[in-house]
Structure 1
Amino acid sequence: MFRQTFRMKAILLFVATLAFVLSPLWSPSFKGYDPSMFPNPVDKPAVQPAGWAFSIWSLIYLWLVIHAAWGLFKRAEVSGWDQPRWPLFLSLALGASWLVVATSQPWLATLQIWIMWAAAVWAMARAPRTLEPALLSWPISLYAGWLTAASAVGTGVVLIGYNIGSETVVTLLMLSLVAAISLTLILWLRPPRGYALGVIWALIGVIAANWGHDVIMLPACIYALALLVLTFWQPRSPRHGYSH
């Protein structure tokens, strides 16, 4: 009975992963929110990373597909592999429609990506750290790390677009939010380093996009350095979640 349930969840996760990865093929072209959608159009909001930073999606897509395929065809009935499946399924199933929503309803897309983020963190917390980490916990942690930054960035773009705070103030608040969430999760869950690397990559993108604008660039540098130090100089045994 349990084995049949495990396999069903593995199939659902595999389908959701493919739908998520292939969603750009049937969604309108999306390169960030269209400034014309907002009362206060800003072409390149300071909170948004440089365009090249979004190339990380190629790695995330590939790694998630490998994770789902290996989990279905090789580890469908393994208990440890089953633990993160439901929350990851929820995140990716929502993600399959995110691009469509984002092109027409920024506020709804903001809510949706935060739910995706929460489900991804839930999956990361449930994924065993020591069971084939390169295939199981690392793909989920990198995805959760990038979503931590992407959720705050998307929120910042919407707030700026609707004139809810100045661009600089909103950007600093969102960067501080990213740092607070990620540092808390690293201290609490001690996730795989892929989580911090996903966040750091986004912060590097923000630094590059605001090069020379010290009031934004310097806090982003400090946050990225703090994440780097905390991630690589702390004990690696998880405090919470599943360790086996």
Structure 2
Amino acid sequence: MKQLYALATLILTITFVISPAFTDPFTGFRADQLPNPQIDPPVQPAGYAFSIWGLIYGWLIVSAVFGIWKRGDDPAWDRMRAPLNVSLALGTPWLAIANASAIWATVVIWGMAAFAIAALIRAPHADRWWAQAPVALYAGWLTAAAFVSLGTTAAGYGLLTDGFGWALIGITGASILAIAVQHMRKPAPEYSAAVIWALIGIMVAGPAVTVSSTALVGIAILLTLNVVNLRAV
């Protein structure tokens, strides 16, 4: 029973990693999922940026295996595992949800991000490469992805502004949240690195000068913060 959290983390990580094999590919919300179809929404990073999932999946698996093998009954790891398990449980069916409903996909991915950030805040700094780093990368990408989903869905329903307006909101929101998270715990440069990767992807997609410029400002701020944090690691 002492290893219950560790076992749950391993099982949920596996289901999360293999879930894409059991759903249709997701490349963005379809035209029929939104009243105002969003074709290549300006808040969405270039396709290559999503390759980061390979690193996230692999690192989470390594972390889960190491965790049950070496830290199965470690209270410090269990504090991280509790919210992480919720995030992974929400993430396992996310692709299927995204293919069915843009609104519910947005709600669920925000839940995934919130619990992933909670897990990062609780992650044991002593096991940085085994626990903190993979969770930080996962949480960082979800931070950006949550704003991408929100911006795409909100623009698709014509809320407040158009796709370009929501791109600016999303980039700004993701950057501010990333800064806030980095000040809530010990340094985790991998978290900001994942957000930076997403912002670079938005720049590469090249939707508009205003969007690219806003992304560049966010990148500059987060890079500066990461340099400072790396000195403290």
TM-score, with structure 2 as normaliser: 0.95
> Which of residues 70, 73, 95 in structure 1 aligns to 2:66?
70
- Three-state SS of the structure 2 residue aligned to 1:135 is helix
- Three-state SS of the structure 1 residue aligned to 2:184 is helix
Shift of 1:132: 2.3
- Three-state SS of the structure 1 residue aligned to 2:232 is coil
Shift of 1:105: 1.2
User: In 2, Cα distance between the equivalents of 1:118 and 1:37?
Assistant: 25
Q: Normalized per residue, which structure has more helix?
A: 2
> Which of residues 148, 155, 175 in structure 1 aligns to 2:150?
155
Structure 1: give runs of 5+ residues left out of the alignment. Answer: 238-244
Alignment: residue pair count: 231
- Three-state SS of the structure 2 residue aligned to 1:86 is helix
User: In 2, Cα distance between the equivalents of 1:169 and 1:35?
Assistant: 20
Shift of 1:23: 0.4
Q: Which residue of 2 aligns with 1:47?
A: 43
Give a deviation string over 1:76-103, Cα, whole Å, max 9, x none: 1223222201100000011001011111
Q: Does 1:25 align with 2:21?
A: yes
Q: Which residue of 1 aligns with 2:134?
A: 139
Shift of 1:109: 1.0
User: In 2, Cα distance between the equivalents of 1:188 and 1:126?
Assistant: 10
- Three-state SS of the structure 1 residue aligned to 2:130 is coil
Alignment of 1:1-244 (within 5 A): 4-5=1-2, 7-129=3-125, 131-164=126-159, 165-210=161-206, 213-234=208-229, 236=232
User: In 2, Cα distance between the equivalents of 1:21 and 1:62?
Assistant: 8
Give a deviation string over 1:60-83, Cα, whole Å, max 9, x none: 000000011111122212232222
User: In 2, Cα distance between the equivalents of 1:132 and 1:187?
Assistant: 19
> Which has the higher mean CA deviation after the structures are superposed, 150-159 or 69-78?
69-78
User: In 1, Cα distance between the equivalents of 2:74 and 2:184?
Assistant: 26
- Three-state SS of the structure 2 residue aligned to 1:114 is helix
Kindly report structure 1 stretches of 4+ aligned residues shifted beyond 4 Å. Answer: none
Structure 2: give runs of 5+ residues left out of the alignment. Answer: none
Shift of 1:43: 1.4
User: In 1, Cα distance between the equivalents of 2:32 and 2:210?
Assistant: 27
Shift of 1:233: 1.7
CA contact (8 A) 1:186 1:231 kept: no
Letter aligned with residue 219 of structure 1: T
CA contact (8 A) 1:124 1:191 kept: no
Shift of 1:180: 1.1
Give a deviation string over 1:173-216, Cα, whole Å, max 9, x none: 111111111111112324411100010000000010116x2111
Letter aligned with residue 221 of structure 2: A
CA contact (8 A) 1:16 1:89 kept: yes
- Three-state SS of the structure 2 residue aligned to 1:28 is coil
